[in-house]
Amino acid sequence: MLVDSAFGCGIIKACGLGDVAQLVRAPACHAGGRGFKSRHSRHFVEFGDMFCRKIMDVVINKAEVLSVADVPVVAAIAIETEIISICQNEVEILKNPLCHAEFLAIESALKCLETKYLDTASLYVTLEPCSFCASALEKVRIMEIFFGAYDPKGGAIFHNSKIFETSTIKPNIVGGIQETRCSAILTNFFKQLREK
């Protein structure tokens, strides 16, 4: 077991696809971000709870240090303070166009939890999910979605098909979390790619 000093807690490798981190719930505080409230939500977490910010930091930190050929997107599935799975985009690594970070994190979490739905879980991701991932999130009935950079071209949460606007599944959604930082990860990646 590795000890993550940022949280003073243990991180263990699980499910073959990601890490499991035990995070400690901290007092709520407030942070930016645009969100809308689910009509059917059991509870609404403004993106201000300290543990939400910590999980998002884990996800962004991981995306910032990726040094592979794939577009750097990282996604985690968490239930309250516990990260169940955390995965990166592996389309190029695995030569599989379905291997988006969110999809891999969903698959890993389902496997870990041995469940069919993630209706008590939250997704944290550095980029607005695309239509494929948004559909997958709808299918697993995700409870909350927290994402960093908006993606006007490929995003399907606040852009294009806006999947949850017409769905019976209504997760709590907050976008634009640490947007500048998350956008910079992608901008830098594509800049480096052009310079190669």
Task: By CB under 5 A, tell whether 130 contacts Zn ion.
Answer: yes
Nearest 10 degrees: Cα torsion 73, 134, 22, 36: 110
- Assess contact for 112 and 134: CB atoms under 8 A: no
Return the number of the residue (11 or 186) whose C-beta is nearest Zn ion: 186
Residue carrying the six token digits 């310079």: 195
Query: Residue type at 6?
Result: A
Of 90, 102, 128, 144, the active-site residue reads 102
Point out which span in 3-11, 48-56, 60-68, 124-132 binds Zn ion (CB under 5 A): 124-132
Task: By CB under 5 A, tell whether 182 contacts Zn ion.
Answer: no
- Assess contact for 26 and 50: CB atoms under 8 A: yes
The H or E element containing residue 186 is helix 179-195
Point out which span in 90-98, 129-137, 162-170, 185-193 binds Zn ion (CB under 5 A): 129-137
> Is position 114 annotated as part of the catalytic site?
no
The residue from 53, 54, 62, 100 that contacts Zn ion (CB under 5 A) is: 100
Q: Pairing state of beta strands 34-36 and 2-4?
A: unpaired
What's the longest Cα–Cα distance across the chain?
Answer: 49
> Whole-number minimum distance, CB 193 to Zn ion, in Å?
19
Task: By CB under 5 A, tell whether 53 contacts Zn ion.
Answer: no
Return the number of the residue (62 or 100) whose C-beta is nearest Zn ion: 100
Task: By CB under 5 A, tell whether 74 contacts Zn ion.
Answer: no
Q: Quick check: helix, strand or coil at residue 119?
A: coil
Q: Give me the active site residues, please.
A: 102
Binding residues for Zn ion (CB under 5 A): 100, 130, 132-133
